Structure 1
Amino acid sequence: MHIGEILARNARMYPDDIALVERIAATKTRIEITWKDFDERANKFSNILMEKGIKKGDKVAHWMQNSIDWLIAYFGIVRTGAWVVPLNFRFIAEEMKYCVDVAEPSVFVFDEEFTDRIGAVKEQLATVRSYICVGKNIPAFAESFHALMEKADVTPLNTPLTFTDPCGLYFTSGTTGQPKPILLTHNNMANACIVENVHHRQTKEDVFILIPPLYHTGAKMHWFGHFIVGSKAVILRGFSPEWVFEAISEEGGTVLWCLVPWVQDILIKLDKGEMKLSDYKIDQWRLLHMGAQPIPPALVKHWRKYFPTMQYDTSFGLSESTGPGCVDLRIGNEHKIGAIGLPGFNWEYKVVDDDGSIVPRGTPGELCVRGNGVMREYYKNPEATAKALKDGWLFTGDMVRVDEDGFIWIVDRKKDVIISGGENIFPAEVEDFLHTLPAVKDVAAIGMPDERLGEIVAVVVDIIPGKTLTEEEILKHCEGLMKYKRPRKIFFGEIPRNPTGKIEKVKLRKKYTGRGEAFKL
């Protein structure tokens, strides 16, 4: 059963039950749909796409903020047999264009807020022949999503699909700083549903509070554990501790997946007395799941001050493994907080040295995982695929050790990725961007520890002798980067490089952050 069939099954079994709720903080708006409504609207969008010539194996770009319509469009696309191409809503126009050039979609569905960004490069998007805009202010080059939906046929397409068929092209940052396209299949998605449900024991009675962006494999795959059993999900637009607790209280929320900064914001409010737990109905809330970056043990201990009996879990994953779950701490293993956990359900692992040989327990090595969640390939990149996939094993690029109880601990990041607020930032992208400043001789980007975000971007800049460059000029220049990628700390000095020309980032980290490893819990 592929995910489109799971939606149809839920509509048959629970037609009048609420499937999705959308709560918009800015307008205090609440929208809900039943499983029957959800299924029929997905059918409508799939028929709209088929009328536009979309067929199995085509691609549809999908650039939207979290919403009910996000998921309607998603399921409408996969039911045609096309590949959905979810795009990061933080992309600037050129980043979006890069992804569209690689994916070559025929249709582009987008929220109205992205109209200007699309318009800036529209004439260069050679493969896109049709634009569909979600919202009220529809540009001249697009058709209205809602107008099309009003008159669309609700009949199911019943496109023949197999588990091995691709269904999504997800972009993640590559080692060069450019996003890499990851091809995922219907089998990957079905496996994510099962793994997530096994790990977190969701039932029909659970209510999931969904905050992180759906273009991430993480948010969607955590929801899949609820989706497979037909339980309600609440999509929150906007974040504040009060908004989250209000949703949990009013919607009967039982499971919350949160990033570290959001948990810290909640705790700050509680510590200051700006929020009181007694003002909310939260007795039913059973599980806090934190992820997307290393979890400080002190944070969980702090959480326990207010929620002593609540279940807790964290998991590890990457887009190449269809998001989280290839390693999972498991509920009940708080004595091992700091570890990323045990192999996920139906996953196996090994830890190897640079030669691919398995290392003894306790010895650091590269984590490799194998299971039904492993991607098919890096699309159009056979060299990167061959490097990452060997005999069914996914080489993650993360250095780990395994303790005496079999729990896996990350000890370093082989690829020097900076994780800030759950977002992966590749130093090379920041470095290449700063190298466009005429006064820059050399530059290096490193992660600096940050209590709230896990890490922030710090840069060390070496200026060409005789030229000048100020911190203010660098910050102004970096407005061309997505906000979370912009440097928060700027240092000036020489960049150490080894004889082969590679930046010696261990030396830089020791000098500017007091640590040699990429990060340490």
Structure 2
Amino acid sequence: MSGWDNNPTAAQEAPVTDTPALTLEQAVDHITSTDPRFAVTEADIRGQRYPVFANTPAHLREVLQSVEAIYGDRDVLVYRDERWDYPRLVDEANRLARALSELGVQPGDRVALAMRNYPEFPLLLLAATAIGAVVVPMNAWWSGEELAFALEDCGARVVFADNDRYRRIEPFAQRLGLVLFAVRDVEGEHNYSDLLARVPEASWPTVPVDADDDFAVLYSSGSTGRPKGVVLTHRGLVSAVYSLIMLRLLPALMDPEQPAPTRPPCSLVVTPLFHVTALNSNLIQGLAAGATLNLMYKWDPEEAIRIINAEQVTRFVGVPTQSAELMEVARGLDQPLPSLEFIGGGGAKRPAAQVGRLANAFPAASIASGWGMTETNALGIIISGDPYVENPEAAGRLTPPLQEMRIVDEQDRPLPPGEVGELLVRSAANMRCYLNQPEATAAAMRDGWLYTGDMARANEDGLVYIVDRKKDIIIRGGENIACLEVEDALYQHPEVAEACVFSVPDERLGEIVGAIVVLKQGMVLKQEGAVGEAELKACVAEHLAHFKVPERFWWQSGPLARGATDKIDRRAIRAACLSMPDTDNNAAGAAAQGN
């Protein structure tokens, strides 16, 4: 066990202090110097020295062991009408751990999870990692071919799958030598329920697990080919999770008059657990902070509202589309959702126009957004509350206390404030490697720095703005144009539901700006009263320079295509649009359609 002392209020309340309002830097120094839970030391990790927490749990099993007192008699996990308090959760996780060991799963073996947000997912996660195995969440939207690639790439031999995934994996399971377990809504030769019943009781596993052992392999969307397996360690996970927990303590020190939370922490998990935002920032951070975790099988704003009210949910983290839909449906149903204290966004940048609207709709909640990657265990940059409302275009500030940041030019020279360059981050939270891709690892990880591929700038106060992906810059006649900047301008129009901006080849200028737009309520260009090109051009021109105004438009009635991490798939959409005849811009084609 670690030296972590997790008393019932440790993860939610700041230490009692009589000091006046502190700056961010002063608040961080105060916590790290006076609260042993967040004391910082250094460690050698794969030949590099990094700041690390001195007293946090070393691995996920210790995280679970540390929160017994903080939960008391509250529930840990809720799914529809099923509930797990701490004793039940630990009992089932330990029994599954013993069953996996008896099945022959060894430390370092990879166990694949291919399912939607069922409670079996976190139970198997806790069980497998408790015996030193490595979990590999599979993207539940993948086709059979994509699942086969990832399963062969990661070398998993044991797979747990719900009905849809089971049917896709079953045809090639024998060829890959997989032991395929059926979960919940499907039965097979091997069943999850039988595995659990095989062990009537079990104590905590005693298998040694090192902080730098692998914890998970998460597949990130591949913009140029197959998805890459991102190998994450227990230390990386713990560094990210406890940095985020420490972040919760800062507001009370920076604004002593801020009211303390009055409700027990309770989170709603609405994004897929095979994404790092849901897995680390929501599920595991929630577990470490003593939050009740409510799982949603599939996003439905009306069902989300019901759960928020019934369970008194305090934290909601989803992609920007989900928070926007929650706001609209809650307004329509006259549901103010007063229990919400925090509405976070991840996976994609929230349109700037949405920030103030959310703050007005949910005045008791702190509206937040952040930048992070699968490669950083979701740790990175965050902004919330009034600073976010005042700077809705910003990504935020670097999350303390373990990270370093640089913005560099093409020759790796650090750039001064205001200059745009590639964002680099360095911390113990960063990935170990890309699975089976040493060249890609060497390109991304250099001297301990992760080259993110994101273009950014920072002001004198350390506020960071993500300008775009490095490869998503449009160069029009020598002028650089950020796709996200133009998209944000399009979102200023009240009838725009989704937008994707990309480069269009042009003989004279090299590239011009193109955009595909989805209007609200399924409106399309030819419908009476629908928004047209001239209106959207005028909207963009109100906010941006003339050369940034889209010159070509495509229109679509359904959701835009997204990649494995739920980000809009700019490459696929661009290819589909450019392959269409010039006379037919009223639909983007199958490749641009979302599922």
> Counterpart of 1:382 in structure 2: which amino acid?
P
> Equivalent residue of 1:124, what SS?
coil
Query: 1:254 offset after TM fit, Å?
Result: 0.7
Alpha carbons of structure 1 residues 136 and 210: separation in structure 2 relative to 1, 3 Å? closer
- Listed as ranges, the matches of 1:145-224 within 5 Å are 145-152=192-199, 153-201=201-249, 205-223=264-282, 224=284
State the partner residue of 1:47: 98
State the partner residue of 1:247: 307
Given that residues 314 and 340 in structure 1 are in contact (C-alpha distance below 8 angstroms), is that contact kept between their aligned partners in structure 2? yes
State the partner residue of 1:464: none
State the partner residue of 1:143: 190
Structure 2 gap ranges (5+): 1-56, 250-260, 474-482, 488-499, 503-512, 521-553, 587-595
Query: 1:404 offset after TM fit, Å?
Result: 2.8
State the partner residue of 1:277: 335
In 2, the alpha carbon distance for the partners of 1:451 and 1:356 equals 41
Give CA-to-partner distance per residue, 1:440-498, whole Å, 9 cap, x none.
xxxxx98746678xxxxxxxxxxxxxxxxxx9xxx9xx9xx999867496344699xxx
1:364 aligned residue (401, 411, 420): 420
Greater mean deviation of Cα atoms: 1-10 or 377-386: 1-10
> Counterpart of 1:176 in structure 2: which amino acid?
T
1:19 aligns with 2:76: yes
Given that residues 90 and 482 in structure 1 are in contact (C-alpha distance below 8 angstroms), is that contact kept between their aligned partners in structure 2? no
1:81 aligns with 2:132: yes
2:468 aligned residue (404, 409, 412): 412
Alpha carbons of structure 1 residues 155 and 406: separation in structure 2 relative to 1, 3 Å? same
1:322 aligned residue (370, 377, 389): 377
> Counterpart of 1:22 in structure 2: which amino acid?
Y
Given that residues 368 and 394 in structure 1 are in contact (C-alpha distance below 8 angstroms), is that contact kept between their aligned partners in structure 2? yes
In 2, the alpha carbon distance for the partners of 1:107 and 1:192 equals 28
Given that residues 340 and 409 in structure 1 are in contact (C-alpha distance below 8 angstroms), is that contact kept between their aligned partners in structure 2? yes
Alpha carbons of structure 1 residues 137 and 237: separation in structure 2 relative to 1, 3 Å? closer
1:266 aligned residue (311, 321, 326): 326
Alpha carbons of structure 1 residues 192 and 251: separation in structure 2 relative to 1, 3 Å? same
Query: 1:93 offset after TM fit, Å?
Result: 0.3
Query: 1:69 offset after TM fit, Å?
Result: 1.0
> Equivalent residue of 1:120, what SS?
helix
2:387 aligned residue (299, 310, 333): 333
Given that residues 359 and 367 in structure 2 are in contact (C-alpha distance below 8 angstroms), is that contact kept between their aligned partners in structure 1? no
- Listed as ranges, the matches of 1:279-428 within 5 Å are 282-323=337-378, 325-334=379-388, 335-345=390-400, 346-416=402-472
In 2, the alpha carbon distance for the partners of 1:296 and 1:378 equals 31
Given that residues 275 and 565 in structure 2 are in contact (C-alpha distance below 8 angstroms), is that contact kept between their aligned partners in structure 1? no
In 1, the alpha carbon distance for the partners of 2:180 and 2:515 equals 39
Percent of aligned pairs sharing the same letter: 24
Query: 1:391 offset after TM fit, Å?
Result: 0.9
In 2, the alpha carbon distance for the partners of 1:182 and 1:343 equals 22
In 1, the alpha carbon distance for the partners of 2:180 and 2:148 equals 14
In 1, the alpha carbon distance for the partners of 2:181 and 2:129 equals 16
Query: 1:241 offset after TM fit, Å?
Result: 2.2
Aligned-pair Cα RMSD in Å: 3.3
Query: 1:340 offset after TM fit, Å?
Result: 0.7
TM-score (norm 1): 0.77
1:235 aligns with 2:295: yes
Given that residues 417 and 457 in structure 2 are in contact (C-alpha distance below 8 angstroms), is that contact kept between their aligned partners in structure 1? yes
Query: 1:46 offset after TM fit, Å?
Result: 1.1
Given that residues 97 and 130 in structure 2 are in contact (C-alpha distance below 8 angstroms), is that contact kept between their aligned partners in structure 1? yes
> Counterpart of 2:194 in structure 1: which amino acid?
A
State the partner residue of 2:11: none
Structure 1 gap ranges (5+): 24-29, 428-444, 453-470, 496-510, 513-521
Greater mean deviation of Cα atoms: 148-157 or 289-298: 148-157
> Counterpart of 1:122 in structure 2: which amino acid?
A
TM-score (norm 2): 0.68
> Counterpart of 1:102 in structure 2: which amino acid?
D
> Counterpart of 2:266 in structure 1: which amino acid?
V
Q: How many residues align?
A: 437
1:99 aligned residue (150, 160, 168): 150
In 2, the alpha carbon distance for the partners of 1:446 and 1:219 equals 32
Give CA-to-partner distance per residue, 1:403-436, whole Å, 9 cap, x none.
232111111211349999xxxx9x9xxxxxxxxx
Alpha carbons of structure 1 residues 301 and 178: separation in structure 2 relative to 1, 3 Å? same
- Listed as ranges, the matches of 1:106-121 within 5 Å are 106-121=157-172
> Counterpart of 1:21 in structure 2: which amino acid?
V
